[in-house]
Amino acid sequence: MEIFVIILSFLMLLGGLAGCVLPVLPGVTLSFAGLLLLHLLGPVSFSYYQLGGWLLLVVLLQVLDYVTPMLGSKYGGGTAYGNRGCLAGTILGLFFMPWGIIAGPFIGAVVGELLGGSEFHRALRAGIGSLLGFVLGTLLKVLVCIYFMVECINALV
C-alpha cells in the first residue's frame, strides 16, 4: 500500500509540475495535494508548520497567478486602462484555453491602453509587461513545484 501511495504522490507532483504550463491542471495545488497524500497515507511525516507554510505558499501563488500580469502591465508603463484591459483579457482568455491564458492579458492590456488614448508604443510596452508578469508567475509556480518534489524526495530518502 505504501508503494502505491508513493507512486500516486509522485504522479501528482509531476502532474502539478506539468500544470504550471498546462492550464488544464491545477499546478501547484496538485503538487501540494501529492505532498499531503504522502503525509497522510504514506511513510512520511511532515511537520504541521511545514504543511501550513506550504499551504500558505500555494494560496499566495494562486492569487499571484492572476495578479502578476496586471503588475507587469503597470510596471511596463501601463495606466489604469491597461490594468483593466489586462484583467478583462485574463478573464476572457480563460474561455480560449490554452493560448487565451497567455494572449488574453497581453491583448487586453494593449487594447485597454489604446482605448484610454495611449500611443501604440506605450500600449505595446504595457502588453509586454503583462506578458512578462505572466512568465514570472509561471516561473515561480515551476520553482515551487520543483521545491515540493525535492522535499518529497528528501523525506523518502
Cell representation of residue 57: 505558499
pLDDT at 77: 79
In total, how many domains does the chain have?
1
Measured between alpha carbons, how far apart are the two ends of the chain, in Å? Answer: 18
Q: Which amino acid belongs to residue 1?
A: M
pLDDT at 140: 93
Q: How far apart are alpha carbons 60 and 65 in whole angstroms?
A: 9
Write out residues in the chain with pLDDT < 70, as ranges: none
pLDDT at 1: 80
Residue 151: closest CA among 54, 27, 7: 54
pLDDT at 132: 87
* Domain housing 148: 2-156
| Cβ pair 10, 155 in contact under 8 A | no
Q: How far apart are alpha carbons 20 and 31 in whole angstroms?
A: 10
Q: Structure pTM?
A: 0.81
| Other beta carbons less than 10 A from residue 74's beta carbon | 19
pLDDT at 69: 80
